[in-house]
Amino acid sequence: MANSAEQYLNPAVIRTVARLDLRARFIVQGFLQGLHASPFHGFSVEFSEHRRYTQGDDPKDIDWLVYAKTDRYYVKKFEAETNISGMLLMDLSASMGYTFRQQLTKFEYSICLAAALGYLMIHQQDPVGLMTFDSKINASLPPRSRRSQLAELLGLLAKLRPAGETDFASSMKRASGMLRHRHLIMVFSDLLSEPDDVVRGLRHLKHGGHDVILFHVLDEAEVTFPFTGSSLMEDPESDQTLVVDALGTRPAYLEAMNSWRSNLAAESLKLGVDYVPLDTSLPFDRALVGYLSQRRARG
């Protein structure tokens, strides 16, 4: 692909995404608002500028009158908190640069998703920022809502190349520690780490009180295993290689793949994380529309 920011903001795709607002009115009123809706839905409007108390909040900010009415701890929102801040967390490890026969690598596919989501948030006038990670946090762009932010964000991504190994748990812990207030965190990763490390990383994000959407992006070949004959498999992060009989390996591989994704979905559900399994054969705008539609259906 050409190395430019504009490629990730294909006008036809943006029009498709933007039309969602006209067709179903859930981009602004459903998807984003639903992620940071008032916790007092169903109570009187006097509570509309409060949110649930989370660890790290100053106990002095607890509204005791609200506690008396609800028997729950809430703090008064400050003006800066009325708009949710979004943070895109992009996996920059070497495995994200892989594609077998699709036009986009996992990294490029993730950038396209991030571009569309960033567009939606800025359209909503919500700030959005970016962090990239592999075994550590590599680059960070603070959340802003100005129109030039998306170009800066994509310009930064367009200069980067996936490289290095992954330390998902450590990177998520560091990212959460860098975010002082509650954010909507959108993670884009192939999650090629130990499953326990992935869950631990998600716990770090949730412990910080953040809303989390986990976009699990795999290459189409990683999901379907279309290989035949004697095939050489290489781990791009460790350079280890293995020759396998593809036909004989496929059933066990597919079973393990399905089990892995199912377990990730179950663990995410326990933690209150939105888990979105994707592969690069699905057009990324359709993937986003599908996710938004599912979220809308869940109410």
pLDDT at 293: 65
What is the pLDDT of the chain when averaged over all its residues?
79
Amino acid identity of residue 1, one-letter, is M
pLDDT at 70: 76
CA angle at 36 for the pair 291 and 22, rounded to the nearest 5°: 50
pLDDT at residue 56 greater than cutoff 70 = no
pLDDT at residue 194 greater than cutoff 90 = yes
Residues 201-210: pLDDT tens digits?
Answer: 999 999 988 9
Minimal CA–CA distance to 179: which of 56, 91, 58, 267?
A: 56
Question: How are beta strands 85-91 and 128-133 bridged, if at all?
Answer: parallel
pLDDT at 99: 93
pLDDT at 119: 79
- Mean pLDDT lowest among 41-50, 113-122, 196-205, 273-282: 41-50
**Residues 6 or more apart in contact with residue 128 via CB below 8 angstroms:** 85, 86, 87, 88, 117, 118, 121, 122, 143, 144, 145, 149, 150, 153
- pLDDT-derived band at 4 (thresholds 50, 70, 90) equals low
Residues 222-241: pLDDT tens digits?
Answer: 999 998 877 767 766 667 77
Q: What average pLDDT score do residues 80-95 get?
A: 83
- pLDDT-derived band at 84 (thresholds 50, 70, 90) equals confident
CA separation, residue 285 to residues 114, 122, 209 (Å):
11, 17, 29
Round to whole Å and give the CA distance between 209 and 200: 15
In sequence order, what DSSP letters do the residues of the chain get, joined into one string? Answer: ----GGGGG-HHHHHHHHHHHHHT--IIIIIIHHHT--TTBTB-GGGTTEEE--TTS-GGGB-HHHHHHHSS-EEEPPGGGSSPEEEEEEE-SGGGG--SSSSS-HHHHHHHHHHHHHHHHHHTT--EEEEEESSSEEEEEEEE-STHHHHHHHHHHHT----S---HHHHHHHHHHH--S-EEEEEEE---S-HHHHHHHHHHHHHTT-EEEEEEEE-HHHHH----SEEEEE-TTT--EEEEEHHHHHHHHHHHHHHHHHHHHHHHHHHT-EEEEEETTS-HHHHHHHHHHHHHHH-
- pLDDT-derived band at 15 (thresholds 50, 70, 90) equals low
Q: φ and ψ at 36, to 5 degrees?
A: -130, 35
**Residues 6 or more apart in contact with residue 38 via CB below 8 angstroms:** 47, 48, 50, 51
Ranked by mean pLDDT, which of 74-78, 168-172, 209-213, 287-291 comes out on top?
A: 168-172
- pLDDT-derived band at 40 (thresholds 50, 70, 90) equals very low
Question: How are beta strands 74-76 and 50-52 bridged, if at all?
Answer: antiparallel
**105: its two tokens:** 């690598």
pLDDT at residue 79 greater than cutoff 90 = no
- Tell which wins on pLDDT, 265 or 33: 265
pLDDT at 49: 58
pLDDT at 232: 66
Round to whole Å and give the CA distance between 284 and 51: 33
pLDDT at residue 33 greater than cutoff 80 = no
CA angle at 46 for the pair 58 and 80, rounded to the nearest 5°: 45
- For the chain, where do the domains classified as CATH 3.40.50.410 start and end? 5-30+84-298
User: Alpha-carbon Rg of the chain, whole angstroms?
Assistant: 20
Question: How are beta strands 137-144 and 128-133 bridged, if at all?
Answer: antiparallel
- pLDDT-derived band at 242 (thresholds 50, 70, 90) equals confident
Q: What average pLDDT score do residues 22-36 get?
A: 39
pLDDT at 115: 83
pLDDT at 297: 56
Which CATH code of 3.30.420.40, 3.40.50.150, 3.40.50.410, 2.60.40.3950 fits the domain covering 5-30+84-298? 3.40.50.410
Residues 121-179: pLDDT tens digits?
Answer: 887 788 999 999 999 999 899 999 888 888 888 888 878 889 989 999 999 999 999 99
pLDDT at residue 12 greater than cutoff 70 = no
pLDDT at 3: 45
- Tell which wins on pLDDT, 211 or 76: 211
